[in-house]
Amino acid sequence: MPLRPADGAAPGRRHEAVATGDPRRSDVDEWGRSDRVRSLARRIYGPVYSNWFRAAWEGLEKIPVTGGALLVGNHAGAVPSDAPVIMHGIESELGRPVYGLADYFFRTLPVVGTLWSRAGGVPARPDNAYRLLHDQAQLALVFPEGIKGVSKPYSDRYQLRRFGRGGFVEIAMRSGVPVVPIAIVGSEETMPILWQLPQLAQALGLPYFPVTANMLVMGPLGLVVPFPAKLRLRVLDPVTFDVEPGLDRYPKGRVIEEAERIRQSMQAAVNDMLSRRRSIWFG
Amino acid sequence: MGRRVLVTGADTFWGGRVIQALENDRDIEVLLGLGTRVPTVTFERAEFVRADQTYSILSRIVHATQVDTVIHTFMIVDSTQASSKTIHEVNVIGTMNLLAAASAPESSVRQLVVKSSGLVYGSSEKDPATFSEDTPRERSPRTDVERSLVEAESLVRDFAEDNPSAVVALLRFANVLGDDIVTAISRNLSRAVCPCIFGFDPLVQFVHEDDVVRALEFVTQHRLPGTYNVAGAGRLPWSEVAAICGTRLLPLPPVRPSLAVMPLVRLGLFGFPPELDALLRYGRGMDTSRLVSAGFEYRYTSAGAVQSFARHRRLRRAAGRSASPYVYEHDVEQFFLHSPSVVRTTAP
């Protein structure tokens, strides 16, 4: 059912709009994101973030406090926890809203789709990204590995997949904002995929159907409950491109080269953090 | 030499109001209204000509009166108001005939302003958050009214290409709310219970009826060419719109809601045209910076339009019936326009 305008007012009370102001009653912005829903989500997710995952950041100060930036992360876990953890961490520590760019498929889901949108989910389209980054100077989070990242089996863990065709680089170039890579370890172990069932996935119309270790331990609940692996997140140095912003297209070779360079720097950071990690559960 | 303006749909809500707004413009020497039925608002100096829907008489009128500006307001954007055959007749055939008359070799028409709708963008899950004027629609049109509007717009674009000397403006308006206008959405918001689709709370955008008329006037007076989105600033969730209007939302099932609501529609309790289905899932946003950078100032935001509508509705319910509606009497209007007994003050 549609969310009530979250203004905390009892149903009978009416708010008299300020004559000169815009008579809004809820704080839902033009992307569908609501700060009130986000702060409620942060309150609920807080224990998960702090006690279950015990998320630890390095380099959080590299994320710009003003201006747009495209945050790029490595993606893992059958039902990934990296996106909510990154958004929670940045919003709590820096106080800046983060918009998560994801497949438009979320919009088609009743209830879940609306909650996703109120929590800052935005369909990943170049024009949406441009408007967010350039026009509104916001932080946007994207995972260039996409489905390839989350559907990796456990045997391929932490091998970062190819970053698509580098679309995220082109978006950052056009919007004139830096790319801030965030390397995260621990996400693979939150929901490791042991086997895939492609026929079942096709039958159900899903992009993939995993059999995860969580499901072996908890049964069907395993699809929603991640393991309490310790999450470490390292923010790498922001990457700026000395190109002119606002162009219609950028040289493909350059875009792919930059994307690959970012992927390699993230892979190196992941490898470095893994070599220092003594325990999956305690870091 | 003043301008000579012809407005179609003079008997409709928009045509009548556009004429009333233009009557104050001293640059306009001749103001004609074309309509299929009698006008519903008073005209001070505009002349009303009654013609059939297909504008077959239009080329004769254009030739005889040498109008240089045509404002085409007669487009149906609400499928609850007419059958799909009528919608096609009015939007496509009517526009086609209008453009044919305007593009005749000796035609005097130099400016064309067309009132279109944001419906040409459609509403789908793949849509961008806001459509700019150049963004193409994502899915091919599925409803009759969208199809007819898309076709009408392509006819207008062809006209603009074939007649480079004419200034052609295409205005795409968001859903309108205001004090007087009655639309499928306004009717739903006026009732105690209003439809929504379970699990969806889309962001919608509105424009106030006064801003619609002002935008048409603005584009006419400034001779602006091109396509413009016209909508109030900001988008708001459907649940908030219902809250401002004081109506409760009735969730319809996300699968085939039109089936579930059909008995209520038949009883007249709900209006649920097919284009509303997609709108209540995904909403629609339009980027309005082009018209704003051309100098137009909106008086109402989206939420402002909704609030103005809600306030006026509360006033109408609380107060008694206002003055009896205007009834057009042809002989009386002819008398005022042409009789030598009427003392005409010199043009101010």
Instruction: Taking the CA atoms of A235, A237, A238 and A243 in sequence, report the sign of the dihedral they define.
Output: negative
Q: Is residue B348 part of a domain?
A: no
Distance CA A187, CA A53 (A): 9
Best residue in A3, A15, A25, A133 to probe B by mutation, most B CBs within 10 Å? A25
The CA distance from B73 to the nearest CA of chain A, in Å, is: 29
Across the interface, whether the CB atoms of B307 and A123 are under 8 A apart is answered: no
Q: Domain for residue B346, yes or no? A: no
Q: What is the mean pLDDT of residues B12-35?
A: 92
Look over chain B and give the mean of its residue pLDDT values, rounded to a whole number.
91
Search chain B and give the residue with CA nearest A110. B199
Return the higher-pLDDT residue of A23 and B286: B286
Can you tell me which residue has the tokens 């042409």?
A: B338
Read off the pLDDT band of B194 (50, 70, 90).
Answer: very high
Beta-carbon separation of B237 and A123 below 8 A: no
Predicted pLDDT of residue A5: 44
User: For position B1, what pLDDT does the model report?
Assistant: 66
- Residue ranges of chain A with per-residue pLDDT less than 70: 1-20
CB contact under 8 A, A23 and B244: yes
- The residues in B 217-236 lying below 8 A from A, measured between CB atoms, are 233-236
The CATH number linked to B26 is: 3.40.50.720
- DSSP letter at A134 equals I
List the structure tokens of A203. 């039958």
Among the residues of A14-81, which ranges form H helices?
Answer: 35-47
Contact A4 B243 (CB under 8 A): yes
Q: How close B252 gets to chain A, by Cα (Å)?
A: 9
B238 touches chain A (CB under 8 A): yes
Q: How much is the pLDDT for A15? A: 38
pTM equals: 0.89
A69 three-state secondary structure? strand
The closest alpha carbon to B175, from B165, B186, B164, belongs to: B186
Q: What is the DSSP letter of A14?
A: -
* Residue that has been written with the tokens 């994207």 in this structure: A142
Distance from CA of B314 to the nearest CA of A (A): 14
Q: Per the CB < 8 Å rule, is B303 touching A23?
A: yes
A1–B199 C-beta distance less than 8 A: yes
- pLDDT category, B53, cuts 50, 70, 90? low
- pLDDT at res. B54: 63
Q: Does B84 touch chain A (CB under 8 A)?
A: no
Tell me, what's the pLDDT at A6? Answer: 41
8 A C-beta contact, residue A192 and residue A222: no
pLDDT digits (tens, 9 = 90+) for B228-242: 999 999 999 999 999
Output the CA angle B238-B278-B264, nearest 5 degrees. Answer: 80
Nearest 5°: phi and psi at A223? -80, -15
Residue numbers of the domain that contains B308: 3-338
Q: How many CB pairs under 8 A join A and B?
A: 92
Residue-wise pLDDT tens digits, B240-259:
999 999 999 999 999 888 88
Other beta carbons within 10 angstroms of residue B295's beta carbon come to 9
B196 falls within a domain? yes
Mapped onto helix, strand or coil, the DSSP state of residue A60 is: helix
Percent share of chain B, pLDDT over 70: 96
Within-domain flag for B159: yes
- A282 conformational bin, left if phi > 0, alpha if psi -120 to 50, beta if neither: alpha
Q: Is B133 on the interface with A (CB under 8 A)?
A: no
Chain B interface disruption, residue of A13, A24, A116, most B CBs within 10 A:
A24
Q: Which domains does chain A have, with CATH numbers?
A: 35-276 (3.40.1130.10)
> Is residue B170 a contact partner of residue B228, using CB atoms and an 8 Å limit?
yes
Q: Please report the pLDDT score of residue A56 as a whole number.
A: 96
pLDDT of residue A17: 38
Cα–Cα distance for residue pair B16/B11, rounded to 1 Å? 6
Residue A7: the pLDDT is 41
* Domains in chain B, number: 1
Helices (DSSP H) in chain A: which residue ranges? Answer: 35-47, 82-94, 112-118, 126-130, 147-150, 167-175, 187-190, 198-204, 213-218, 252-276
Quick check: B251 contacting A, CB < 8 Å? Answer: yes
**Residue B345 counted as domain residue:** no
Answer yes or no: do A110 and B126 touch at CB < 8 A. no
Q: Which residues of A touch B285 (CB under 8 A)?
A: 30
d(CA B315, CA B294): 35
> Coil, strand, or helix at residue B246?
coil
Tell me how far apart the 2 most distant CA atoms of chain B are, in Å.
Answer: 66
Residues of A in contact with B240 (CB under 8 A): 5, 24-26, 28
Q: Across the interface, which of A22, A127, A131 has its CB nearest the CB of B303?
A: A22
Compare all CA atoms of chain B with the CA of A17 and give the residue at the minimum distance.
B307
Task: Enumerate chain A positions whose Cβ falls within 8 A of a Cβ in B.
Answer: 1-5, 17, 22-26, 28, 30-32, 104-105, 107-114, 122-123, 125, 127-128, 131
- Is B343 contained in some domain? no
Q: What are the pLDDT digits (tens) for B124-180?
A: 999 999 999 999 998 899 999 999 999 999 999 999 999 999 999 999 999 999 999
Asked, for residue B347, whether it belongs to a domain, the answer is no
Structure tokens given for B246: 């004081």
Please say if the pLDDT value at position B307 is more than 70: yes
CB-CB under 8 Å, A5 with B130: no
Is residue B199 within 8 angstroms of chain A, CB to CB? yes
CA separation for the pair B291, B217 (Å, rounded): 13
Q: Do A122 and B128 touch (CB under 8 A)?
A: no
Paired sense of beta strands B69-72 and B3-8, if any:
parallel
**What 3-state DSSP class applies to A239?**
strand
Q: What mean pLDDT is predicted for residues B260-286?
A: 88
- Report the alpha-carbon distance of residue B132 to residue B117 in Å, rounded: 13
Asked whether the predicted pLDDT for residue B20 surpasses 50, the reply is: yes
